[in-house]
Structure 1
Amino acid sequence: MDFDTSKALKGVVDADTARLGRLLSSCGVLFVEDFSPSGGRHLYIPLRDRMDAAEARELVEALALTATSLDPSPHQNVTDGCIRVPGSVHKAGGHQTLVTPLSQAYDILRRRNPASALRELRAALAPELTRKRALKARAAKTVAALRAGSLQQLSLTTKASESPLRRVARTGLYDTARYKSPSEARMAVLNHFSACGWSLQHVENELAGQFLGLAALYGSSERRARLLPVEWAKAQAFTSNRAHPKRDSRKQGKRSAPINNTSLTQITGGAGKLSSAGVHQLVNDLENVLYAVLDHRLQAKGRQGLSLRLLIRGLLGYMRAKETDILDVGCRTLAAAMGKHHVTIARLLPVLVSASDGILTKVADARHKAADVYLIQLPQQYQQLARELTWRKGKIHAVRPVFRALGDATALVYEAIERGRHSPTTADLVRTTGVSRNACSAALVEMEALGMIQRQGRAWRITNISLRALAARLGVLEDYQEHIRRHRFERAAWHAYLDRFRTPDSIVEAEMHDPERDDYWLPPDDAAMWWRRQPA
C-alpha cells in the first residue's frame, strides 16, 4: 500500500499509516513498513497463498476509501505502478528506509499471512467493500447511459458533491493562487464549517476523523490547541456578520409596518394550541396507533406501502421536533430526510392522506414560498386504543442516512429490533414488519455483516455501533450533501422566479398617477350626438 504525499500532506500520510496499521494489527495481519525521503510511506502485506489481481484491487480500493493519502493505482493495473522497495535510491536523493526492525521484517516475510487473516480484514472492511460495489454499479450505469445517449441527464444526479473547502480539510492541499498561506486556508475552512452550523466540539472531533488535513495545516498539536479556539471565534464573528449585516443608520428610524393589516388572525394560545408536553403525548399515542393499525393497513399496498410507512414516521418525527401538530414541511425537505425524489414524495402524500383514516389531513395548499399545510391529529375512533396501549421506548425515525444505502425494508427490520419490547426472532420480524421472508433474511445478513446487529441464540439484538459513522464509511453522507445542494439550487431558481412578480417596497407617485394624463373619461354632450338620430 502506497501512501503518497501528492495525495495529502505529510501529517495526513503519517496519520493514515498509523490508523491502517492499527486496523491491520487488530485483524491479525502482519506487515512491513518503510518511508521515503519525500515523506511517503509503504506498507507491505506478504501472503501465503496467491491472490488474483481483481481481488487485490478490490481490497486496496476499499482501504483507499478509509485513507485519503492511500494511492490505489499500483493495484489498478497489471503492467505499471511499481514502487520502490526498502533500500532503493530515491529520485530526490536518499534511500527508501525500513521502519520495521530488520529481524522482524525478515520473520514476517518468511512466515507470511494466512487466508484467515485476510478474511478478518474483509470483515472489518465490509462497509467499504459495499460502498465500492455501489460505486462500480453506478459507473456501469453511467456507461450504459453513455451508450444510450442520456449521459447528460444522469451526470446531474451522479456528480461528485464534495466542496473544495471540504477537500482542503480532508487532504490539507490548497490552491496557492487563492490562499497565500496555510493560515488563510484554515480560516476559509473554519468559515465554511461555521456557516454550516457546526460547533467547536464538532470540529475538534472531526480533526481526528475525516478532516485530518485541517489538523495537518496547523503543523503541530500544541499549535493547534493554541490557535483553534481563537480562529474559530473569528470564523463565528465573520459568519454572523455576513448572516446579519448592519442596517443603514439612515433607514433604522424608517417606519416599515403596514397601515392596514389584512392578514388572517393567528392563534395566540389557549385551547387551540397544544403545549410541548401535549405534542409529545400525542406523538406517543399516534405511534401506538401506527404500530397497531396503520402499519398493517399500509402493508397491503406492496412496495409503495414501505415508502408510505416510512413517510408517516418522518412526519411524526418532524412533529416531535417542531412540537406542533400543524406541519408545513415541503416535499424537498421530506425527500432529503427519506432519500427519495421530491416528485415521489408529492405523489405519496395524497395517498397517505386517504389511507391514514383521518390521522393526516391537508388544511391548506402551497402558495408562493410556503408549502402545503397538514394537520396531524388522533381521530375519535382510535383514542380508546391509544390509551390502552403502552408507549414504546426510543425515538421514531424516517430514513436515517445509513438506510439510504441499505433500503427501506432494512430500515423497517432494524426499527423492529431496536424498538421491540423483547429481542425478536426472524419469524417475529417477518410477522411484525410485513416484509417477505427472503427480504428480511437478506436484510439481517447484510446488517450482521456490517456489525449493526448480532445474533444471540435465535434472537436478534442491536449493537452499539454508530450509525452516522457507518453512513460515512458507506459514502452515504456525500450523496446526502449532493441531495441538499441540488435542492438548494432548485429553491433558489424558484424563489428567483417568484421575485419577478413581487411588488416593489416603494412605489413612485408617477407610476400610479400622471398629472399630464386624464384618469377618467367624460361622456359626450347630447348635442354632439345629433348624427346618431339621423336616418341612415
Structure 2
Amino acid sequence: MPTSLHAVLPERDLKTDSHVGVSAIATPSAQVTPEQAWALAPLIAGQPAYRAGQWVRGKFQYPGTPRKLTAAPPRAPAAVLIHDAAGRVTTLCLDLDTSKATQDVVNADAERLGTLLASCGLRYVEDSSPAGGRHLYVPLAEPMDGAEARELVAALARTAPSMDASPHQNPSTGCIRVPGALHKRGGYQQLITPLAAAYDTLRRRNTAEDIDRLRRALAPELRRNRQEAALRAKATGTPQSFQGARAASSCRPAGGWQSPLRTIAQTGLFDTARYRTPSEARMAVLNHFAACGWTLEQVRGELSGQFRGLASLYQSPAQLARLLEAEWTKALEFTVTRQGKKYAPKSDTSLTEPTGGAPSAAAIHQLVNDLENVLYAVLDARFQKYGREGIGLRFLLRAVLAYMRTMETNILDVGCRTFALALGQHHSTVARLLRRLAQLSDGMVTKIADARHRNADVYLIELPQQHRELARDLSWRQGKIHAVRAVFRVLGPAAALAYEAIERGRVSPTAKEVAQHARIGVSTAERALAEMSALGMIHRDQDKRWHITHTTNLTQLAQRLGADQDVAAQLTVHREQRRRWHDWLDRHNPDHQLTEADLYDPETDEYWPPPGLYTDSAAVWTIPTAC
C-alpha cells in the first residue's frame, strides 16, 4: 500500500466487511488531512492523471493537458480522470451538486443512493465538498465499458434530482474531484467514510454480480432512458449510441416537457426574478397542487419522496409542520377564487342526469358484472379480428364499464378527451372508436344524444337481449376492470392484456394460457411477460405458472417509468384545448366579458395529477368530462 496511507491506518483488521459508506454518516472525519485523503486518488482514478482547474470567462473548468498523479495533492483545484485510455471505468463516480438542488435535497439524495447501493450489496466511499456537494465512489473489480457506465449512472440520476451525470458522459475529459483535492472556492474535498474503511473498500472492489443486482433494481430507469434515447434518435436522425445518457442528467421526459413548478418541488431551486422569497415559491407550488386536485395528505406523503425540494423551502421541519396546513388552506381559497373567475359558466352546462326509473347502485354493479362476462366471452373474440383497431375497442369498452361502476349509472356523457386520457390515446382516435363501438357491440353501447356546447355525447349502456342468458350462466370474475393503467401507457397494450389475464384469471396461468386468455400471440405474450417480470410486476413459480407480485406498487413503478409525466402532459394539452373551446363559446355569449384572468399562464396552468389518480378505475373520472 502507499506509504503515506499506511502511516495513518489504525492497527486493525482491514477485512471487516460492512457498508461503511452509508450516507447517514455525513460528518467529515476531522483527523484526516488532505494529504492522507489524497492517497486514495490512484484507487479512484481510471488512469494516474488529473486535470488542473481554472476560471475561464467566469466559469470554472478543467482544461489543458492531463498531469501525472503525485503523492502530494496539487496546490490548485484538481480532478482525476475517471476513464482509462480505452474509455473504460474502474469506479462509478456519483456527483451530487448543490447547483442542481438545495442542500437538503442533496443530503436526501445521498441517503437514498446509499440505501440503494447497500441493498444491492455494493460498498462505496463518500466525501463532501465545502460547497455542500456529495460524491459517492463505487469501485469495480472488473473495468466497465464507458457506454455501460454512462447508462448505469444516467439511470441512477433518475432517482436523484441533484445528481450530475456529466463526469461519465465524455471519455476523454470526464473527471471528478476526489478526497483531499482543493475546492475552487477554498477548502478541501473531505472524506466522510473512515479512512481505513475507505481504503479497504477501494482495494476489495465490487464484483460483476453486485453490479448486476444494481441493474435489476434500476430496470425501470434503464428502460425509460433507452426508450427516450430511441425517440430522440428517431426525431433527430442521430444514432442511438450517441444519444445515450446525454440528456439523462436533466431527467426530463421524452419531448422535453417539464413543468417549472415540478422542478421547484423536486429540487427546491427557483427563479428569483419570478419569486422573490422561498415563501412565494412554495405558495406557487401549493397553489398549483390545489388546482390539480391534490389533497393535503397526498402532498404530505410526497414531502419525503419526490417533493423533497418543496420541503426544503421551509426553514426547518418545525416551520413546515407549523405553516403547511395554513398555507394549504390559502392555496385552496386562491384556487377556488381564480377558477371561479376564469371558468364559471354563464349558461346551464350541467351534466346529463338520468330521469325517472334510474336503476339502483346494486343493479348497476350487477349489470357491469354481466357486461364483463359478455366482454370476455364474446366481444373480445370479435374485436380481435380487427387488429389494432380491435385492441382500441377492447380497452375503450373496459373504460366504459369502469366508468359505469365508478359513477353507478348506465347513462354516460363522457367526453372524448376524458376517454383519451384513460386510454393514452388521441381524442380523435377515441371519437372514431366510439362510433365503431356503437356499431359492433350488439346494442350494448347506444348513442342517445349528440354533444352540444360544453356537454359531450350521451350513451346508454345496457345488456343486449341475445346475450342475457350467456351473461347469467357464466360466473362473475373477481377484481376490478381497468381501462389502461398508467404503467401500461409505457409497457403497451399487450402487457396490459397479459397482466389482466393473470390478475383476473380463476387460476394462475402458464405463458400459453396467458396468450389464450388475453387473445394475443404467444411470442407477444412471452415478450410482455419477460418485461414485466424484469420490472418485478409478476413472477413465475416452479410449475411455470405466472402470479402477480403484490409487493410491487404500480403507481410508483409508473412514476419511475415516466408515465405520470406523460399523463400530466396530456392533461395540460386537454385543459388548454378545453379552455379555448370554452372561450369560443363565451365570446358568442353576449352576457360574458373576458378579463385578465382568462389569459393562459404556461407555468401555473401546467397540470400535475395526484399520485395514483390514473392507476385505479375508481379515480379515473374526476376530471372535467366535456369534450
The answer to whether the superposition gives a TM-score over 0.5 is yes
Aligned-partner Cα distance in 1 for 2:353–2:569: 37
With over 3 angstroms needed to count, the CA separation of the structure-2 counterparts of 1:505 and 1:88, relative to structure 1, is closer
2:124 to 8, 12, 31: 31
Aligned-partner Cα distance in 2 for 1:305–1:266: 31
1:124 to 217, 223, 231: 217
1:308 to 373, 393, 397: 393
1:133 to 213, 221, 226: 226
| Aligned pairs for 1:426-437 within 5 A | 426-437=511-522
Q: 2:578 aligned with 1:485, yes or no? A: no
How large is the RMSD of aligned CA atoms in angstroms? 2.2
Q: 2:166 aligned with 1:73, yes or no? A: yes
Q: 2:138 aligned with 1:45, yes or no? A: yes
1:280 to 365, 370, 373: 365
Partner of 1:197: 293
Aligned-partner Cα distance in 2 for 1:160–1:328: 34
Deviations 1:46-91 (A, max 9, x none): 1111111111000001111111000001111112232111011112
Letter aligned with residue 288 of structure 2? H
Partner of 1:416: 501
Partner of 1:438: 523
Deviations 1:441-475 (A, max 9, x none): 00000000000001112111111211111010001
Q: Assess if the C-alpha contact under 8 Å between 2:393 and 2:437 holds in 1.
A: yes
Deviations 1:481-530 (A, max 9, x none): 11111112222222333334335479xxxxxxxxxxxxxxxxxxxxxxxx
Aligned-partner Cα distance in 1 for 2:592–2:295: 37
Cα offset, 1:242, TM superposition = 2.9
Partner of 2:432: 347
Q: Report which stretch shifted further, 112-121 or 90-99.
A: 90-99
Q: 2:253 aligned with 1:168, yes or no? A: no
Cα offset, 1:176, TM superposition = 1.3
Letter aligned with residue 574 of structure 2? H
2:320 to 224, 235, 260: 224
Q: 2:539 aligned with 1:454, yes or no? A: yes
Partner of 1:399: 484
Aligned-partner Cα distance in 1 for 2:144–2:580: 52
Aligned-partner Cα distance in 2 for 1:448–1:180: 48
Letter aligned with residue 363 of structure 1? I
Aligned-partner Cα distance in 1 for 2:455–2:400: 17
Letter aligned with residue 48 of structure 1? A
Secondary structure at the residue paired with 1:237? helix
Deviations 1:333-386 (A, max 9, x none): 111111111121122222222211111111122223222211110011112222
Q: Report which stretch shifted further, 368-377 or 61-70.
A: 368-377
Aligned-partner Cα distance in 2 for 1:73–1:91: 18
Secondary structure at the residue paired with 1:38? coil
Aligned-partner Cα distance in 2 for 1:27–1:257: 60
With over 3 angstroms needed to count, the CA separation of the structure-2 counterparts of 1:90 and 1:32, relative to structure 1, is same
Aligned-partner Cα distance in 2 for 1:139–1:202: 33
Cα offset, 1:219, TM superposition = 3.1
Q: 2:151 aligned with 1:58, yes or no? A: yes
Q: Assess if the C-alpha contact under 8 Å between 2:586 and 2:592 holds in 1.
A: no
Q: Assess if the C-alpha contact under 8 Å between 1:160 and 1:482 holds in 2.
A: no
Q: Assess if the C-alpha contact under 8 Å between 1:279 and 1:323 holds in 2.
A: yes
Partner of 1:212: 308
Q: Who wins on radius of gyration, i.e. which is larger?
A: 1
Q: Assess if the C-alpha contact under 8 Å between 2:129 and 2:189 holds in 1.
A: yes
Q: Assess if the C-alpha contact under 8 Å between 1:161 and 1:481 holds in 2.
A: no
Aligned-partner Cα distance in 1 for 2:256–2:404: 33
With over 3 angstroms needed to count, the CA separation of the structure-2 counterparts of 1:234 and 1:492, relative to structure 1, is closer
Q: 2:99 aligned with 1:6, yes or no? A: yes
Cα offset, 1:267, TM superposition = 5.2
Secondary structure at the residue paired with 2:265? helix
Letter aligned with residue 74 of structure 1? P
Q: Report which stretch shifted further, 66-75 or 481-490.
A: 481-490
- Structure 1 gaps of 5+ residues are 146-156, 247-255, 507-536
Secondary structure at the residue paired with 1:402? helix
With over 3 angstroms needed to count, the CA separation of the structure-2 counterparts of 1:117 and 1:394, relative to structure 1, is same
Aligned-partner Cα distance in 2 for 1:44–1:227: 38
Cα offset, 1:238, TM superposition = 2.5
Cα offset, 1:237, TM superposition = 2.6
Letter aligned with residue 78 of structure 1? P
Cα offset, 1:105, TM superposition = 0.6
Q: Assess if the C-alpha contact under 8 Å between 2:130 and 2:188 holds in 1.
A: yes
Letter aligned with residue 456 of structure 1? D
Letter aligned with residue 330 of structure 2? K
1:177 to 266, 273, 296: 273
Partner of 1:385: 470
Secondary structure at the residue paired with 1:33? strand
1:22 to 115, 137, 140: 115
With over 3 angstroms needed to count, the CA separation of the structure-2 counterparts of 1:257 and 1:74, relative to structure 1, is closer
Cα offset, 1:244, TM superposition = 4.0
Deviations 1:10-69 (A, max 9, x none): 100000010010000000111100000000000001111111111100000111111100
Aligned-partner Cα distance in 2 for 1:317–1:17: 42
Q: 2:228 aligned with 1:96, yes or no? A: no
Partner of 1:82: 175
Aligned-partner Cα distance in 1 for 2:418–2:290: 22
Cα offset, 1:158, TM superposition = 5.7
Partner of 2:601: none
Identity of aligned residues (%): 58
1:499 to 569, 586, 607: 586
- Structure 2 gaps of 5+ residues are 1-93, 239-252, 594-627
Cα offset, 1:266, TM superposition = 6.9
Secondary structure at the residue paired with 2:314? coil
- In the superposition, the TM-score normalised over structure 1's length comes to 0.86
Cα offset, 1:329, TM superposition = 1.1
Secondary structure at the residue paired with 1:233? helix
Letter aligned with residue 275 of structure 1? S
- In the superposition, the TM-score normalised over structure 2's length comes to 0.74
Letter aligned with residue 305 of structure 1? G
Aligned-partner Cα distance in 2 for 1:463–1:400: 16
Partner of 1:469: 556
Letter aligned with residue 227 of structure 2? A
Cα offset, 1:111, TM superposition = 0.7
Letter aligned with residue 478 of structure 1? Q
Q: 2:415 aligned with 1:330, yes or no? A: yes
With over 3 angstroms needed to count, the CA separation of the structure-2 counterparts of 1:266 and 1:95, relative to structure 1, is closer
Aligned-partner Cα distance in 2 for 1:489–1:221: 37
Q: Assess if the C-alpha contact under 8 Å between 1:286 and 1:386 holds in 2.
A: yes
Letter aligned with residue 459 of structure 1? R
The count of aligned residue pairs is: 480
